[in-house]
Amino acid sequence: MKKLKLAHLYPQLLNIYGDMGNVLAIKKRCEWRGIDIEVDEINIGDKIDKHDIYFIGGGQDAQQIEVSQELQRHKRFLQDERDRMAVFLGICGGYQLMGHYYQPHNGDKLPGISIIDAYTVAGEKRFIGNVTAHTDLVEPDTLVGFENHSGLTYLSGETTPIGKVLTGNGNNGKDKTEGARYKNAFGTYLHGSFLPKNPHFTDYLLELALGIKPEPLDDEIEYMAHNALINKKY
Ligand code: GLN
């Protein structure tokens, strides 16, 4: 089986609510199956070379300013990687920067890298709490996580939500959508960490990166965590 390379973008700036756990979930689920995986941390000023999976976590507006500027240097490269069908996962603040821009409450619009057709504008209230979404992408058909954002994200064109909100707010609290997908680039507001509690989604990302379905694992504990959060009110 091919060796996987994962780039963790700007972990020193964007890593809240244990977003790092997403990288660990991918790494561990590879190791448990004997799949070779290399994790490279990319920090400000670093060059980025080709990877199979790119991960970017969430953070506060202040850190997003620095990452937004840095990402502009890599925008074309990352768009080419998306077109090559590399897998991307962005959480919350990282998700917002995968779109065209994030307009904070105060201050300048932060440009994104436009690898998904989406934009985000800071709203009046902060959405905090557990989220359950229904999804058509994986079985079982639920995604769970914890959201904390004031940004309201709107999708257009060929970018589609990854789920429909059952509990919580998701992209904007109005249209019941949660997360986004264009090609193999995915974004979501779900922290938690997201992937450890959603092993089926982790394996879906691995399947896209490997080109074959990874063999099943014993996920009893992971699904206990998943099921405990379904439709849980904050
Ligand atoms: N600053 C963004 C917002 O509040 C992102 C927050 C986050 O990543 N948790 O909308």
Q: Is the peptide bond before 104 cis (omega within 30 degrees of 0)?
A: no
Predicted pLDDT at 17: 84
Closest CA to 130 of 60, 51, 230: 230
Q: Report residue 65's pLDDT band, with 50, 70 and 90 as the boundaries.
A: very high
Predicted pLDDT at 57: 97
Residue 95 to residues 98, 100, 136, 188, Cα–Cα distance (Å): 5, 11, 20, 6
User: Which amino acid, 30?
Assistant: C
pLDDT tens column, 18-53: 899 999 999 999 999 999 999 999 999 999 999 999
pLDDT tens column, 133-182: 999 999 999 999 999 999 999 999 999 999 999 999 999 999 999 999 99
Considering the candidates 8, 149, 191, 226, report the single residue annotated as catalytic: 191
Considering the candidates 8, 92, 100, 149, report the single residue annotated as catalytic: 92
* Ligand 1 midpoint to CA 40 (Å): 24
Q: Are 90 and 114 in contact (CB under 8 A)?
A: no
Q: Is 92 a catalytic residue?
A: yes
Tell me: pLDDT of 95 over 90: yes
Predicted pLDDT at 149: 96
Predicted pLDDT at 192: 85
Report the chain's mean pLDDT, rounded to a whole number.
97
Pocket of ligand 1 (CB under 6 A): 16, 58-61, 64, 92-93, 148-151
Residue 134 CB partners (closer than 8 Å, separation 6+):
141, 142, 163, 164, 166
Report the alpha-carbon distance of residue 113 to residue 101 in Å, rounded: 8
* Ligand 1 midpoint to CA 102 (Å): 10
Q: Are 4 and 52 in contact (CB under 8 A)?
A: yes
